Amino acid sequence: MAVADFTRLGIADVVGLIRTGQLSPLALVQSCLDRIESFNPALNTYLTVMADAALAAAKVAEQAVTAGDALGPLHGVPVALKDNCEVAGVRMTGGTPFLRDHIAPADAEIVSRLRQAGAIILGKLNMHEWAIGGTTRNPHYGPCHNPWDPTRIPGGSSGGSGAAVAADLALVTVGTDTGGSVRIPAALNGVCGLRPMMGRISNRGVIPVSWTFDTVGPLARRAEDIAHVLQVLAGYDPHDLTSRDQPTGNYLAELNDGVTGWRVGLLGGHFQTEPQPAVVTLVTQAARMFEELGAHIEEVELDGAEGTIERASEMLLADAAAFHQARLAERAEDFGPDVRTRLRMGALVSGSQYALARQEQRRWQRQLKQTFERYDILLAPTCGIPAPLIEESEGVQTTRLLTRFTYPFSLAQLPVLSVPCGFTQGPLPVGMQLIAPAWAEASILRAAQAYQQVTDWHLRRPNVE
């Protein structure tokens, strides 16, 4: 097998080969850097490539194997980060001109945990400005392109994170999800993306959008790879006000135990009436696959689900407007037009509106908790459409369209995994959301693993060779 082919393996295979000396961390990192050099100019996934630092870390990783040192669970695994995560001594732009020359003073908590686990940081990825939008049509650093069709968006705000995995420019990437910013790029690029339970992973050292909804989340091809990364990133951080002190468990222990006897709710209502028919068909076919795997499938409607979209938007944008209050007052012209518009929308949300939205959030969370008394997981489309064309993707309207099915579960603050479930139009990837009860990331990872054992949507690759 050529060295370049190792980028197509999962984390368990890569780490196993590195541990036994069959794969050189240095060769693996160099292979990734070669692909980045070849394909990044066309895709614009990376804003900063940390080539020298990555190669130096790979040499250290290789020496550790030779010396027989204790190795971490991600030893030698190449990882890339959304450019709103701090890496000490490295530029962090946040996709905005406000931070064009900003050098991060320290590692974000997630970066520290990745390094401790032996992962190697390849660089920083393109994103929607300030992570406020769903297109990654960035007016300051150029649009990120979808590897399946470079005339189309990769989604956002973690667009570079989704595109980099799809194009094999990193084995794993890390993004952030506020209203859908991991799940949407995962769906539009044909990879897996996890929004963990709010508070599961530390946000310290990551630029906020909304203190109410922000999460860090990994993207990779396989649910198993997501589980490996979550095992490293999850855990209480007493220095992060959003972190929750909850047991993490072992996300790999029951990963292959299947879904026999599970009760799976296929969401109806606007989750089936709004998406393109091809998207509904693919998600329904995925539900039937779960039935073949031994689960019991039942269509369920969540009363009031559509109304939660506006409530989530109000709270999210109000939080964002609060964070950017001084910048919006002093340098509004330096924001991209769509981000400026959305921040001004957030600034208009009154205290009474926010209070009413917060109360609706409590009602919605209680409703979903009661729903999960009957179901183990829920299924829904991630996006109602495949990736739109870049030239037709206006930031405000396109974001509103792409978040129709992600916002309700951001409002609930529940764990959600987007998993590839087919292709349409050319082909362009389609994703489905697996939604779990509070703190039950292990359940959706287990369900996705079962699904991916009998399907190959996640292994298909765009023609970027």
Catalytically active residues are: 82, 157, 181
Pairing of strands 46-49, 263-267: unpaired
- Find residue 218's DSSP bridge partners: 174
- Say if residues 50 and 122 touch (Cβ distance below 8 Å): yes
Which ranges of 259-376 does DSSP label H, i.e. alpha helix? Answer: 270-273, 277-292, 308-323, 325-330, 337-347, 351-371
Q: How far, in whole angstroms, is CA 409 from its chain's centroid?
A: 14
Residue 163, CA distances (Å) to 35, 193, 240, 464 in order: 13, 12, 29, 11
C-alpha dihedral sign at 221, 390, 210, 418: negative
List the one residue out of 192, 227, 89, 216 whose CA is nearest residue 420.
192
Distance CA 346, CA 321 (A): 5
Q: How far, in whole angstroms, is CA 276 from its chain's centroid?
A: 23
- Find residue 176's DSSP bridge partners: 216
Residue 139, CA distances (Å) to 26, 95, 98, 439 in order: 35, 9, 13, 37
List the one residue out of 157, 211, 210 whose CA is nearest residue 182.
157
Distance CA 127, CA 159 (A): 5
Which ranges of 117-267 does DSSP label H, i.e. alpha helix? Answer: 159-166, 183-189, 223-233
Residue 44, CA distances (Å) to 99, 136, 280, 291 in order: 18, 10, 31, 40
Q: How many CB atoms lie within 10 A of CB 440?
A: 18
